[in-house]
Amino acid sequence: MGVIKRKICLLGTFAVGKTSLVQRFVNDRFSDKYLTTIGISISKKLMPPVHGGHAGSAAQHEFLIWDIAGLEKFDPVVMNYFRGASGALAVADLTRPETVDELATIGDQFLSVNPRAALVIIGNKFDLIEDRSDTFSDYQLLAADFGSALILTSAKTGERVEEAFHLLSQKIEPPNG
């Protein structure tokens, strides 16, 4: 079975939980304090097999997950950060509706660099939401605009974090598909 390296970016403005989601997924950890100094950290994770191509051949993605601090300041460095990515987890904060508009801008920029990339939209910090019947319509609209489902996650409890990364892996085209 072939292993294909795939660059994945975390998108979203300051403090939505990008670093926390990566830490939860890769190391199954959560902390209240992550460094917010500017810099890029890259984590590796082997994903479950995805099926595609002819004769149902299976392949596995090895995710190289790029997490950047300082993405909220738009500069040319951000475009270099996006380059060559196959997909992105695009994160908004369920406790801060203004992060949806910011994510729309960042998502457009990402897709202008990588038009064929897959996106999964995440509403994070679901553990802080008291009314779980809320439909989060602004978040749903953003997800629909980007051709994605909305996944409501908590990096703190781990709820649906793995599912979000796995969905992204499935949305990325197999090499001979």
Nearer to Mg ion, 19 or 114 (CB): 19
- Give residues 11-40 in contact with Mg ion (rule: CB under 5 A): 18-19
- Give residues 28-87 in contact with ligand GDP (rule: CB under 6 A): 32, 34
Convert residues 130-149 into a mask of x (bound to ligand GDP by CB under 6 A) and - (unbound): --------------------
Cα–Cα distance measured from residue 155 to residue 96, given in angstroms and rounded to the nearest whole number: 16
- The binder of ligand GDP chosen from 70, 96, 109, 127 (CB under 6 A): 127
Q: Of 91, 164, 96, 100, which is closest to residue 129 (Cα–Cα)?
A: 96
Q: What CA–CA distances, in Å, run from 128 to 45, 82, 109? A: 28, 30, 29
- The binder of ligand GDP chosen from 81, 125, 143, 152 (CB under 6 A): 125
> Where does this chain touch ligand GDP (CB under 6 A) — which range of 78-86, 108-116, 123-131, 132-140?
123-131
Nearer to ligand GDP, 7 or 156 (CB): 156
Give long-range contacts, CB 8 A cutoff, 24+ apart: 44-48: 45/165, 46/3, 47/165, 47/166, 47/169, 48/166, 48/169
> Where does this chain touch Mg ion (CB under 5 A) — which range of 40-48, 61-69, 75-83, 114-122?
61-69
104 phi/psi in degrees, rounded to 5 = -60, -45
> Where does this chain touch ligand GDP (CB under 6 A) — which range of 55-63, 78-86, 120-128, 162-170?
120-128
What is the maximum alpha-carbon separation in the chain?
47
> Where does this chain touch ligand GDP (CB under 6 A) — which range of 74-82, 107-115, 122-130, 136-144?
122-130
Contacts of 99 (CB under 8 A, 6+ apart): 12, 13, 16, 92, 93
Q: Residue with the closest Cβ to ligand GDP?
A: 17
Is the Cβ–Cβ distance between 151 and 164 less than 8 Å?
yes
- The binder of Mg ion chosen from 69, 104, 113, 129 (CB under 5 A): 69
Is the Cβ–Cβ distance between 119 and 165 less than 8 Å?
no
